[in-house]
Chains A and B, each alone.
Chain A
């Protein structure tokens, strides 16, 4: 049995109005797993992702990722944590349109202090690996949705994070591009990358993950191993 990478213990997160987004959630994700977090709107999926990414803090409970207590980090500490431990992929890509594809991918490594030449080498490897090396000098606006999401994945993997978080990674893509991204995530997981995907898309969950966690009203309603 591999070691736990993510450990949520009795986590509760409340916002000003309305019921808690997460209630007393405990969850463990081990290294090498591919986990899909499913649930209807308002079920707490994005809150769970934000807590794991260090973008938000729980009101109660603890969040530990790769041995780091994320819930106690300040802004600067959380930033350093994200640089090294987490790669994030967003629904709307969130690429910086004024930078080229290569510059976008290189950015997290440079922020982490990697030398320019080494960062560019690593970025080229990733772009090559993901099949988009030919676009390295282009700006994101010139790429298709699927290509943009591949760039976002490349950027997320730049610092070799132990954990890849994806928030509705196919939500803004057509079905062909969505399937392409799902295959990519599956391939990455096959290479040992731990992946957590928050999605509405059951097909994506079925296709690229081996475990499904279903949230309903902020609680874990189901947690089961699936067969890909």
Chain B
């Protein structure tokens, strides 16, 4: 076997393009497979690991009762095994660097340690002195140590210095201060570990029974947090699987093409090797080895790249749960071994012909060949000679043409899928920013804290000359029989239709008693459009009829949008205003704030781009670039083989008067025609993939997606994508074609 190593080595170095294309294809497929596989494996593990390491809170509850009442819940309930608190809490507006940030919940906590929800300091130190604050990693601005921020909602609007950044596995607060900083608590927080972690509802009932009625302001189950954690990672899996499959198919195609091409153009060499005593299996393994060496290199690079790319992908989960996550070793091993097995099998099958070739036939290669494909020249005889010869060429080597076309088909499909996915993500990002208003009046914090007088606000808005339109929003929480947790109710005063709520199905409500709900609400209540659902609020039952499904991922999608008249006792706590064109927003806000005394106006938060969407977009771009490069190199490899095989023919053409440009036209026309057909086949494959993967991603995120996310392919875009197939093929073919066109005729004619 060792005698074959020099043959394998020389084959790899002699066929650099072929080696590069195998290496790149393997790199791409291994990268995508490792990312997808790792996410599948670790998506649920990090939360549980982090939760265990930090003794996360199974139940966090917010009370409006006194600290003494709340403290009584610590061990009185048999369901509770450990607890920390009560911690004073306050919802406060924050001003940093002259900018008003959305309100946050600040918790007064003296010590980050304890038997429940041990906080991990990511940077800096704990806030144990007056005027200090520790921010959560999820704080609405990028936390910077040493910066000062103003807690403008607290009495005296204290200015505090950021001394640390911390993480809580169940996100119990967005900032922590020494308890003395909160001089007028709006509530108290208790964090519990439960004896029966899955029975959160009964534990909450037990705790609720121990405090005065109606003083449990809110609660959060660890199961909800876990669901959210898995959701973030699970979103990546469908598209990574798609790229993994595309990469695998491309790898099989590329390795098959390259090996079959090498066998096809190396028949005489095979004959010589056999004449020297190589057995058929030794010849086959020579070619398998030539594929395995660059593939091994590609696997190594792919594993490194996959592990590096896993850092930002898994980092989103790390950020939340303070766990160092890496692609598991066994997944690395399985992906690497799997890729090499696929390459070996593909190369072996493709090289079988080399083993079967009769030595005497192989040695006879170079003698006058067949006439395959010559009939096609007649079809194109009306065209200029180089074009006619070029268009007929694919018929002369149908297997080689098929291989090249397959590369372009999958390259085009990848581009089509990636472009569609990118556009859909853009649509989804826009849909997440459901609020398109210019100005917001009122707080986004707990509604019961709102000091807003609706009549004053509406009269002020109506009187302002720059107000174009506005609507009010009342929020409350209601339970739904049979559904765990509660639903967030959004009750609108006025026409909220212009706010840009992205509809999935049905229609916007048109009268009191009708509701539009997110997908998760339908799932949780096992209902569908047209059904009537009963909501319960403060002992009263309300029936709403679901008339539409909309895209909304806030509050895990457990929400309902209704006309304010459905709940007449619920006053609006926030108003959203659209100003007239060319209005100076800050002047408008200042003007409102001069008039409104009990509440404040501010420019509407533009919303943040989702990190997940950014990472998915970046990964899509990277994997697409790699796949297109593989596709292009596949074409380049085919053209290289073809022009090398035909260099003597082309020399004859040149000796008869064909110019280098005509030679280029000949080769390019053959490639462009194949590219066009392949592009036309690849585009529907890409759109089909898009139509399959996008809903799967939505399902992973627990929601259907708005129709606009699917209808991203315009006819003009589809036409451009079809042409991308030709573009990939032509651009990839140009380097070897140009080189061949400029080969001296005498050299070409001497080529055996």
Contact = CB atoms under 8 A, between A and B. Distances in A.
Do the two chains bind?
yes
Interface of A: 50, 53, 55-56, 75-76, 78-80, 82-84, 88, 90, 92, 94, 96, 98-99, 103, 106-113, 116, 155, 159
Interface residues on B, range: 20 to 34
Given A55-B359, A94-B363, A99-B10, A108 B277 contact: yes
Contacts of A83: 276-277
Contacts of B752: 92
Contacts of A103: 6, 10
Nearest to B2: A110
Nearest to A77: B279
Nearest to A93: B272
B280 A96 contact: no
Contact of A82 (B3, B10, B275): B275
B98 to A, nearest CB: 70
A55 B274 CA distance: 9
B276 A108 contact: yes
Contact of A111 (B276, B281, B360): B276
Contacts of A116: 2
Contacts of A53: 275
* Highest count of chain A CB atoms <10 Å: which of B268, B275, B278, B359: B275
Interface in B333-387: 355, 358-360, 363
B280 to A, nearest CB: 5
A83 B269 CA distance: 17
Contacts of A92: 752
* Highest count of chain A CB atoms <10 Å: which of B10, B269, B277, B359: B277
B272 A94 contact: yes
Nearest to B3: A110
Contact of B6 (A55, A99, A108): A99
Contact of B276 (A50, A76, A82, A98): A82
B540 interface: no
Contacts of A82: 274-277
Given A55-B359, A108-B277, A111-B276, A96 B269 contact: yes
A112 B277 contact: yes
B10 A111 contact: no
B280 A107 contact: no
Interface in B196-233: none
Closest 4 CB pairs of A and B: A110-B3, A83-B277, A98-B10, A79-B279
A76 B280 contact: yes
B262 to A, nearest CB: 12
Interface string B2-45: 11101100110110000000000000000000000000000000
Contact of A55 (B4, B279, B360): B360
Nearest to A165: B275
* Highest count of chain B CB atoms <10 Å: which of A80, A99, A106, A159: A99
20 contacts: A56-B360, A76-B280, A79-B277, A80-B277, A80-B279, A82-B277, A84-B277, A90-B363, A94-B268, A94-B275, A96-B7, A99-B10, A106-B6, A107-B3, A107-B7, A108-B276, A110-B4, A111-B3, A111-B278, A159-B277
A112 B360 CA distance: 21
A107 B275 contact: no
A107 B6 contact: yes
* Highest count of chain B CB atoms <10 Å: which of A84, A107, A112, A155: A107
B316 interface: no
B280 A88 contact: no
Contacts of A96: 7, 10, 269, 272
Contacts of B360: 50, 55-56
A76 B356 CA distance: 11
Given A107-B3, A110-B6, A111-B3, A75 B279 contact: yes
* Highest count of chain B CB atoms <10 Å: which of A88, A94, A111: A111
A79 B274 contact: yes
Contacts of B272: 90, 94, 96
Contacts of A113: 3
B282 interface: yes
Given A50-B360, A94-B363, A111 B277 contact: yes
Contacts of A55: 274-275, 358-360, 363
A113 B1 CA distance: 8
Contact of A98 (B14, B274, B279, B280): B14
Contacts of A75: 274, 279-280, 355, 359
Given A55-B358, A75-B280, A112-B277, 8 more contacts: A50-B360, A55-B274, A79-B278, A90-B275, A98-B14, A99-B10, A113-B3, A155-B276
A154 to B, nearest CB: 12
B750 to A, nearest CB: 12
Contacts of B355: 75
* Highest count of chain B CB atoms <10 Å: which of A50, A106, A112: A50
A31 to B, nearest CB: 21
* Highest count of chain A CB atoms <10 Å: which of B280, B355, B360: B360
Contact of B281 (A50, A76, A110, A159): A76
Contacts of B276: 82-83, 88, 107-108, 111, 155
Nearest to A103: B6
A55 B7 CA distance: 22
A182 B680 CA distance: 62
* Highest count of chain B CB atoms <10 Å: which of A96, A106, A108, A109: A96
Nearest to B10: A98
Contacts of B269: 96
A110 B359 CA distance: 20
A109 B3 CA distance: 8
Contacts of B6: 99, 103, 106-107, 110
B273 to A, nearest CB: 8
A112 to B, nearest CB: 6
B368 to A, nearest CB: 15
A185 B443 CA distance: 103
A92 B280 CA distance: 23
A108 B276 CA distance: 6
Interface in B698-752: 752
Interface in B285-301: none
Given A94-B275, A96-B10, A79 B2 contact: no
Contacts of B14: 98
Contacts of A50: 360
Contacts of B280: 75-76, 79
Contacts of B363: 55, 90, 94
Nearest to A47: B360
Contacts of A78: 359
* Highest count of chain A CB atoms <10 Å: which of B13, B280, B355: B280
B684 to A, nearest CB: 43
A98 B277 contact: no
A79 B4 CA distance: 14
Interface string B435-479: 000000000000000000000000000000000000000000000
Interface in B236-287: 268-269, 271-272, 274-282
A106 B14 CA distance: 19
Contact of B11 (A56, A79, A98, A155): A98
Interface string B117-152: 000000000000000000000000000000000000
A142 to B, nearest CB: 16
Nearest to A94: B272
B362 to A, nearest CB: 9
B546 to A, nearest CB: 72
Contacts of B2: 110, 116
A120 to B, nearest CB: 12
Contacts of B11: 98
A113 B278 CA distance: 11
A40 to B, nearest CB: 18
Nearest to B275: A88
A111 B7 CA distance: 11
Contacts of B275: 53, 55, 82, 88, 90, 94
Contacts of B3: 107, 109-113
Nearest to B268: A94
